[in-house]
A and B are shown apart, each in its own frame.
Chain A
Amino acid sequence: MTSAHLSLTVAAGERRTILWTRLLRRATPWLFSLPAVVFVAMFFGYPIVQNVVMSFQEYTTSTFYSGAAPWVGLANYATILSSYLFTTTLVNTALFTVGSITFQFVIGLALALFFKRAFPLSGFLRSMLLLPWLIPLIASSAVWKWLLDQESGALNQFLGLFGVPAVPWLVDPTLALAGVIGVNIWLGIPFNVAILYSGLQAVPKELYEAGSLDGATGWKAFRHITWPNLRPVVSVVIVLGVVYTLKVVDIILGLTGGGPANSTQTLATNAYNKSFVEFNFGEGAAISNVLIVVSLVFALVYLYLSRREPSE
C-alpha cells in the first residue's frame, strides 16, 4: 500500500515535471519573441492606442491638470473632415509626396548609376552626397529660407545674373509648395542614392558580361538587366520614401510654417498645429490617425509587392 502510494506520488511528481518541460518547450519560441513583443507593444502599440483613444476625446490644456477628457465620439473626425482645410491639406500632402518622391527617385537613380562607374574621387564625392542628411533639419531649413529669400536670397541673385526678375519663392502661394518640395527633394536624394547604389552593387557582373555578348549595352542593359534586378530595391526605396515624406513636419515648419495662406499646409503640419499650437490634442490626434491610415495603405502595398516579387 505504502509503496504503491509512494510510487504514485513519484509518478505524479514526474508527470508534473514532464508537463512543465513540455510547456516550457512549447513556450520557448514565444519567450524568444517576448522582448520584441514587449518592445512593440510599449513603443508602438501604446502610443497608437493612446492616439486613437485621444481622437475620440475632447483633450485640451485642461485635461493635463484635471485628467478629465470627455468622450466626444466621432465629433473630432466630423470637425476635421468638414474643415475648410481638409481638402487643401490632403491635396498638398499628395502633391508634396508625389513631387518629392518622383524627383528624389529619378535624380537618386541617375546619380547612383553615375557613381557605379568608378572614377577618381568617386568615393569621396559619393560620401559628400550624404551631407544634406548630416545637417540638422532646423539648420538646413533656416539656410534654405535665407537662400530662397525674394530680395536678398542667393538663388534670386544668381538668377538675376541671367536677367530673371526676383522670384517670390516662399512668398507666393502658388510657388511656395514648389519651393518646399524642392528643398525636400534635395534632402531626400542622399537616401535614394545610398540605397539604390548598394542595390546596383548587388547586380552580378556576369549578367552584364553575358548581356554584352548578346549586344545588350547602354540603355538595353539598363532596361533588361539593371532594372529587373533592381526592382525589389526600388519598391523598398519608394515605399519607405512615401512613408517618410507623408509625415514631414520640420522642413515645412522651418521654411513656411504651412503658409502663406495655408498653401503649404499638409496633414502632418496641420496635425502639429492643432496639437501643439492650438492645444486641441483631440483634433490633432484625429488628423494624425488619418495620416496613419494613409501610411498603412502604402505599407500594405509594400507588403503585397514584396510578397509578389519572388514568383517573378
Chain B
Amino acid sequence: MYKYDEYDQRIVDERVAQFADQTRRFLAGELSEDEFRPLRLQNGVYIQRHAPMLRIAVPYGNLNSKQLRMLGHIARRYDHGYAHVTTRHNIQFNWPKLEDVPEILGLLSSVQMHAIQTSGNCIRNVTSDPFAGVAADEIADPRPWCEILRQWSTFHPEFAFLPRKFKIAVNGAKQDRALVQAHDIGLDLVYNEAGELGFRVLVGGGLGRTPIIGAEISAFVPWQQILNYCSAILRVYNLHGRRDNAYKARIKILVKALGVEEFARQVEAEFVHLKDGPSTLTQAEIDRVAGRFDDPVLAPLPQDAGYRAHLAENKAFAAWARRNVRAHRVQGYASVVLSLKPYGVAPGDLTAEQFDAIADLADRHAFGEVRNTHEQNVLLASVREADLFEVWQQARELGLATPNIGLLTDIISCPGGDFCALANAKSIPIANAIQDRFTDLDYLYDLGELELNISGCMNACGHHHVGHIGILGVDKNGQEFYQVTIGGSQGNQAALGKVIGPSFAAAEMPDVITSLINNFIDNRHEDERFIDTVRRIGIDSFKTRVYAERAARLEARETANV
C-alpha cells in the first residue's frame, strides 16, 4: 500500500473542508442545483434512484485492513449494511444522506481515503492490474506510476472541467489485466531496444455508447516525459473535444473525427513545448514514490508439503485452489481471489461484516492488504502456501470461497435498474437467474473460462462489450429487454462483442445462455474456451441456435396453452 505523507494527507483534509462548505452552501440555498452538481460529482456523490450514491476512490484497487474496517463502519453507520465493488476498483455506497457525506469523507480521510474525482468530467481514478507487484509476467510494477498519475491529476487546474469524463489505466505486465485498450488513455509499461523503460500510449478507447478499442499514438514515451505527454493529450482534448453534445464529448469521438494520425500530430505539436519542462519526472521522485509502498519483503519459501497434501485429500479445497488461487512470483506464496459472486447475491456486493472479516483475514494471512479487481472480486495478493487451507476454510465461512473465478458464474454486473437512475433495465436479477441455471460446478469447470458481463444500459459500467458473452439492458416501449453480444474479450486481444440479434425478455435469458453454451459444447475443439470457438467459427451458428431454440420454446408454450 502507498502510505500518505503530510502533503497527501493535507490535500485530502483540505478537500473535506472544501466540500463541507460547498454542501453547507447548497443546503442553505446559496448554490443552485446546477452549480452544485459538478462539485458533488467530483466528490463522488450521485443522485440515485432511492438516495444519493457515494463512490469512494480505491486508487488502482489497493486497500488495507484499516480501510476495510472503516468501510464496514460506514456501511453500518450510514448505509444499509453493505457496499458494492465497481468495475473500476471503487467502492459504492447506495444509501448515504447528502448531509452526512462531509462527515463520511472526514472518516475516510482518517484512513487515507477519499472520493476525489470518482465522477464528473475530470480525470478519474487511475486503474491497473490487481496482480501488480506479485505477477510473474510483470515487466515493471505499475503502482508507483499510478500513484504519480493520481497525484498529478488530483485537482489539476487546467483539466478540472473537461468535455467529459477521462479514464486512465496502466498495465505493467505481458498479459494486460487492466483493460488498457478500453480507456481514454491506456499506458503499457515497456522497455525499448536500448533497455530503457517507457510507455506505449493508447488513446480513445472506451466502452459506453460508442465502444472503441484504443489506438496507439506513441510506441514509446520515456518515463521521464509521461506527465508532459499526458498533459499534451489532455490539452488537445480540453480545447477541442466537443462540448455541445455530452454523448459525443469523450476523447474517442475527437480522435475518430480528426483521425488517429492527425490527433497524434496535434499531441506531438503540444508535447514539443512541454517536453523536459518542470513536470519532467526524476529518478529520485520515482524512487521516493515507490519507497512509500510498504510492501512485505518476501523471501522464497520451500514448497509447502501440507498444502499439497490438502490438495490431494480434499476435493473441494482442490477445486477452490484450481479456480481461485494464482501463482505468485515468489516461491512458496500464492495470490487468492475471494469471490464476490456467490449464488443469489448482487455481484460485487460486500456486507459490513464481510469487510471486517476480510480485514481480519488480510491481517492474519496477507500482510494486511487486499486489492479490488475490475471483475468485482477481492484479491489477497500474497499468501503463504502453508496458509491457503486455513484461508479457504475461513473464506468459506464468510461466503467468499465460491470456486468460480473466471467461470460463467463469475459475472461482472453493474448495479442496474435496482439502484441506478441511468439504467434501462435491471442487471442483478439477470445475473442471479443465470447463476441459478448453472449450479453444477463440475459442469462449469468443464465449460472452462467464460466471461459473462452485464450492463443495465449503454453506459456499459458492466463492461458488456468485452464479455465473451455480453448482456445489455435496453428499453423497448417501457419494457426491460436484453441484447446479447458474443465474442468480446479483454486482455491483449481485446475485442468488442457482436450483437447476435433481436433482444430478449428477462425471463428468457437463462435459456438464451443455455443455447449459447450448448452450441459451444457441440462445436468446440479440445481445450477450446468459449471465446476461442466463437473466434474460430464466428457468431452465425450461435445465432441460429439461439433463435431456433427460442422459436421452439415459444411454440411449445403455445401448444401447451391450447
Chain A partners chain B: no
| Residues of chain A having any CB pair with chain B under 8 Å | none
